[in-house]
Amino acid sequence: MRIILMLIKKEFLQVFRNPLLLSILVVAPLVEFMIFPFCADYEIKVLDIAFIDNDRSQVSRDIINKFNASGIFVPHGLLESKEKADAMMKHDRIDILIEFPHNFEQDLYNRQNTRIAITANAINSVKAGIGTGYAQEIIGGYMQDFAIANGSGSMQAMAAQLQAQQAAAQQQRKGSKTTSIQSDSPIMAEQAASIDISNVYWYNEQMNYKNLIVPGILVILVTLIGCYVTALNLVREKEIGTIEQVNVTPIKRWQFLLGKMIPFWLLGMVEFIAGLLIMKFVFGISVQGSIPLLLGITAIYLLVMLGLGFFISSVSENQLQSMFIVLFLFIVFVLLSGVFTPTEGMPEWAHKINYLNPMSFYIEVIKKIILKGSEFVSVQKETIVLSIMAVLINTGAILSYREASK
Amino acid sequence: MYSIEANQLTKQFGEFTAVDHICFQVREGEIFGFLGANGAGKTTAIKMMSGLLLPTSGTATIAGYDILTQSKLIKKSIGYMSQKFSLYGDLTVFENMQLFGTIYGIPRRELKDRIMASLRELDMDKQANTLVDSIPLGWKQKLAFATAILHRPKIVFLDEPTSGVDPIVRREFWKLIYQAASKGVTILVTTHYMDEAEYCNRISIMAEGQIKLIGTPEELKQQMGVDTINDVFVKFVKR
């Protein structure tokens, strides 16, 4: 016990005398929290748009003006031909093309079927999906006003129809693989159906991406402290040679590793709590569920990451090697875990890999407890899996740590 | 009884034989010198004897314990000073000694007094709270030695303790070695300074992983018909 306390003291002294490490511990979370949530944002705020207006009527001009006034679309004017539009899209100059057919206005007044073509550059499928969504919203809004102004009941139905189309288009977004999505918005005159769609996004009612990104950053923070810092720490002692002086003493392996783990475990917990405070006071996201439960599971997750860090450093020869391994694992963990991208769209094999990915279990816990306010029962599975991982990886770390080399 | 007894101790790294079936004995309280050119196998032999490296074949007993089966017991009874300075540079002199003293199980109430007494002997008590990184190399080596014997081991392994150190500090360092030996500590020291070999009770000259010559400095000089160990070495290498 005395030995372990001494080792903890030693580790803390070293951390607080290492300006680089200290600044990583303090600056990294601050930077990540202050910058990342504002950049890593799925909302598309700027879209380049162009129009082909075959109608040149009051209605088509009104709709174009609506687009121009929306603040989301940056207009690139009226184009004469489809070829010109294709070329512009190919060169990434425009994201969305709106094409009005001949006799558009006339057909509307005559209550004939007519179509506006919305073409989106789907190289960036998220942008394309959201862009067509916005476009449909604007056209739909205009149609509603148009219907009211013209006092026509069937016009209102028409607007409703358009909204339904919109929802369907959003559903399709995920599957789109072609370079352009062509979604026609049929505007039918005689349609009695009146569907009213109202969306409520549970647990994140404003569809605020920060609610998703910020807990994700919390996960990354804990992972970095847990895995990165420890992986570098032990292997650094190997490089400098101090580990030899320790290995020649009668110290036991578990004593040495515990003396290494406890300090970084404490640091990780402090960072996590600091992260929670930033989350609450800067982003206004407060934990919906039980904080002790959240801390408890974080403690287990940190053990997994610390164990992994030590495992990596005991199998690597120098800091460069262990850094590469950590970096590689980290990218795999983050991309598969669902921190920034939904796992639902991933193929089956990715889901299978995710059973080995501690981060994917932990992000589930974080989202459930912070955003949903889940109780222990709904994170029971994740807790058990993380606990098993913690035991296995730490056993591996102790076994792979050799005092005497062969 | 011998403090150190090596029996056919061998270490191979792949095809390369670093230490080739060496046998020798060191008596209690003796200062035993390991001489040889760089790459002769001195460090490898020391690492095997101090439990940092497993031998390929053969064995050795250190303080009566077998290196293959009783390494934990050996570690309690030895001190070790690596070729490369390996105390913590970002800890102070006192903190380093406190850390290793604690690991070796020196009782808390005794530890502080022992450290201060040891530092006074080195004339370093004023540097107790200085970071190790900021003291000169010669002092670092003396500190490393003091730390290695703080827990009063029966045997101390010193791997080139004086390399890169100025002559004055080297002389002081050997004074410390003599002091420790006079208290009954067995000392195994490697060096490639031939003048230092004269300070040893007995020496062995290693080459290509084998012990080629072994005896007191006087014996070896007579055997080769020369006046200094330096000449012994030169003559031996030419042979």
**A75-84, B105-114, B127-136 — which is least confidently predicted?**
A75-84
Both A166 and A266 in one domain: the answer is no
Query: Quick check: A212 and A204 in contact, CB under 8 A?
Result: yes
Both A214 and A287 in one domain: the answer is yes
A154's tokens: 């069937």
Confidence of residue A193 (pLDDT cuts 50, 70, 90): very low
Spell out which residues of chain A touch residue B63, defining contact as CB-CB under 8 Å. none
pLDDT at B47: 93
Q: In what order do the strands lie in the sheet with B186-191?
A: B78-81, B155-159, B186-191, B31-36, B202-207, B210-215
Both A59 and A159 in one domain: the answer is yes
Residue A8 lies in a domain: no
Give the mean model confidence (pLDDT) for residues A61-80.
87
**A87-91, A180-184, B222-226 — which is least confidently predicted?**
A180-184
Q: Name every residue whose Cβ is closer than 8 Å to that of residue B155 and which is 6 or more positions away in sequence.
A: B3, B4, B62, B63, B77, B78, B79, B185, B186, B187, B188
Question: Does A101 score more than 80 pLDDT?
Answer: yes
Chain B contact for A241 (CB, 8 A cutoff): yes
Question: Using CB atoms, which residue from B54, B86, B90 is nearest to A245?
Answer: B86
Both A92 and A126 in one domain: the answer is yes
Note the pLDDT tens digit of each residue in B139-192.
999 999 999 999 999 999 999 998 888 889 999 999 999 999 999 999 999 988
| Structural domain total, chain A | 2
Confidence of residue A202 (pLDDT cuts 50, 70, 90): low
Note the pLDDT tens digit of each residue in B51-68.
999 999 999 999 999 999
Question: Using CB atoms, which residue from B54, B78, B82 is nearest to A244?
Answer: B82
A315's tokens: 């199998």
A405: β partners: B53
A108 by DSSP, 3-state: which?
helix
- Higher-pLDDT residue of B104, A150: B104
Chain B contact for A6 (CB, 8 A cutoff): yes
CA distance A267 to A247: 25
Cross-chain Cβ contact A6/B108 below 8 Å:
no
Both A237 and A328 in one domain: the answer is yes
A18 CB-contact burial (10 Å; exposed 0-12 / middle 13-18 / buried 19+): middle
Contacts of range A375-378, beta carbons closer than 8 Å, 24 or more positions apart: A375/A289, A375/A290, A375/A293, A376/A290, A376/A293
Q: Which residues of A276-315 are buried (b: 16+ CB within 10 A; e: fewer)?
A: bebbeeebebebebeeebbeebbebbbbbbbbbbbbbbbe
CA distance A245 to A240: 11
pLDDT at A208: 62
Question: Using CB atoms, which residue from A13, A240, A249 is nearest to B104?
Answer: A249
pTM over 0.90, yes/no:
no
Which of B11, B75, B102, B140 would best serve as a mutation to test chain A binding (most A beta carbons within 10 A)?
Answer: B102
| ipTM computed for the complex | 0.91
Both A160 and A125 in one domain: the answer is yes
Confidence of residue A204 (pLDDT cuts 50, 70, 90): low
Both A149 and A281 in one domain: the answer is no
Domain range B28-47+78-238, CATH architecture: 3-Layer(aba) Sandwich (3.40)
Both A253 and A138 in one domain: the answer is no
Domain of A235 in residue numbering reads as 19-40+209-400
Both A35 and A51 in one domain: the answer is no
Give the mean model confidence (pLDDT) for residues A4-17.
94
Query: Quick check: B185 and B28 in contact, CB under 8 A?
Result: no
Residue B49: closest C-alpha in chain A: A248
Q: Which residue type, as a one-letter code, is found at position A32?
A: E
Both A168 and A301 in one domain: the answer is no
Of A334-348, B87-101, B191-205, highest mean pLDDT: B87-101
Both A76 and A136 in one domain: the answer is yes
What's the whole-number average pLDDT of chain A? 81
Question: Does A276 score more than 60 pLDDT?
Answer: yes
Note the pLDDT tens digit of each residue in A215-233.
888 898 889 888 888 888 8
Both A178 and A233 in one domain: the answer is no
A205 CB-contact burial (10 Å; exposed 0-12 / middle 13-18 / buried 19+): exposed
Beta strands A114-121 and A96-100, pairing class: antiparallel
Residue spans per domain, chain B: 28-47+78-238
Residue A238: closest C-alpha in chain B: B86
- Higher-pLDDT residue of A159, A178: A159
